[in-house]
Structure formats: C-alpha cells, structure tokens
Amino acid sequence: MIYGAVLAGGTGERLGLGMPKQFYKIGTKPILIHSVEAFLKVEEFDCIIVSSPKEYIDKTNELIEEYIENTEKIIVIEGGVTRNDTILNSIDQTDKEEGSIMVTHDAARIFVSPEQIQKSIDFAKEHTASCPVIPSTDVIFQTRDKKNLDEIPLRKNLMRAQTPQAFKIKRFMEIYNDLSDDEIKLLDEAMALFHLRGEDIRLFEGDSSNFKITTPFDIHVAETMINKLEKL
C-alpha cells in the first residue's frame, strides 16, 4: 500500500491571515487544494491522508468536497501538537505492513510536481527513505544563542531539505518504538528518525520552485507564479 500524508495540521499564525494558511486562496484555489490535487495525479496512491487542526476538520472536509470531484481516496484526520505527532496520527491510518510506504508533504508547498512525488516513492522502495534536496545558496552561520557565531559549515556540504519525503512505514515504527525519550525530543521530521539509526536515506534533486509558503512575501511570489500558470 502507498499512502500520501498531506500535513496541514498548523494554524499559520505567523502569516497573520486570520485563518490557517492552508485555507488561503492562491489563484482560484486554497493552498491545501493545490497540494492535494498534485497527489491525486499520482495513480499509485491507495489513500491520501489530510491532517487538520481539530477545530477545522469540518472546514477541511467541506473544502475537499467543494473543489475535488473524486474524494474516495481522501480521508481527513486530526493533526498532532508537533509535526512528528501528525506523522504518527497519519501512520495510525495505515496497514503498517511490510513494503507499505508513506509520502509526507507540507501542504504549503503547492508547486510540488507529480514527478517529484513519484520519485520519492520509487526511491523509498529501493532504500529505506527518500528526500528531495536543493543546494544552499547562502553561507550558513551556526549559533546557539542567536548572538554569537559558533561555526560556519562549508556551504558545499549543505543541502536544504524539501518534501515530499517518503519512507517504509514498518521500519519507521520499529525505529520509533526503540527510541529513548531524549531521542524522540530531537525529532522534527521523519528523516531525523532514520538518521538517528543510520538508515539508508536516498537524497535526490529537488526543485527550487517547490518552496514552502511561510511569509507574506512567499504568498506574493506564489500568487505571481499561479497567475502566470493559469494564463498558459
């Protein structure tokens, strides 16, 4: 079984939109719908799990019914307090059988291509997990207190992680159940879990247009891109 998990469990307060950012329209559709539609273009998915803040589950279902014609593969669940909690809630909806794969994706990355999604699935089948990456174009400063410079890692060794990220579900749970409480606190995404146990993570070339809408400037860029695409 192949599962998609579109992560939309946050409220997007940093954007100051007065609503969770996944409901904000870019072009003619809400952010969430753009991402779900990209996943629906990949025929290999048996189920697409959409997470939502508890108080917005009904709203999420309503939007999906409004914009998407065929919803039989889609289920909406409550997201968790953290990203890792949301992934675990999504895994609870799966069969956890040998060979089953989950593809997690930030709902706010609306320009993800079906090709990138398919690559993540294919590489996860061959390896334990997979993740698209792009080179860092900036020099990165490492600082613990945000005031003093601790280290300057070599830029040539730095890559920026994107989603979709895919992994074998059964192996994820085997590792998670073996982690200490301190190790669990270190998890902020699925790849961190696999890295803690030295698992085979296949990195592949991402796409700079697959950025995450996080700031008002990102919204402006996304609207410009969508308007150009809709005119084609």
**Rounded Cα gap, residues 33 and 36, in angstroms:** 5
| Residue 129 domain boundaries | 2-222
Tell me what pLDDT residue 12 has: 62
Read off the pLDDT of residues 56-78 as tens digits, 9 standing for 90 and up: 999 999 999 999 998 999 999 99
- Please name every residue paired with 29 in a beta bridge, in sequence order, or none if there are none: 26
Q: Which residue has the tokens 């954007």?
A: 15
pTM above 0.95, yes or no: no
Largest CA distance in the chain: 53
In this prediction, the residues of the chain whose per-residue pLDDT falls under 50 are: none
- Residue 29 is predicted with a pLDDT of 95
**Residue bearing tokens 């909806």:** 93
pLDDT of amino acid 13: 63
Is 48 part of a structural domain of the chain?
yes
Predicted local confidence at residue 11, as pLDDT = 64
* Count of domains observed in the chain: 1
pLDDT at 230: 74
In-domain check, residue 229 = no
Q: From residue 10, how far is each of 3, 50, 71, 92 by CA, in Å?
A: 21, 12, 22, 19
- Cβ contacts of 13 within 8 Å, gap of 6 or more: none
Q: What is the CATH number of the domain that holds 155?
A: 3.90.550.10
Has residue 228 been placed in a domain? no
Q: Is 232 a domain residue?
A: no
Look at residues 204, 7, 185 and name the one whose alpha carbon lies nearest to residue 90.
Answer: 7
Residue 231 lies in a domain: no
Q: Is residue 175 part of a domain?
A: yes
Residue in 24, 35, 52 with CA at minimum distance from that of residue 220: 24
- Is 227 among the domain residues? no
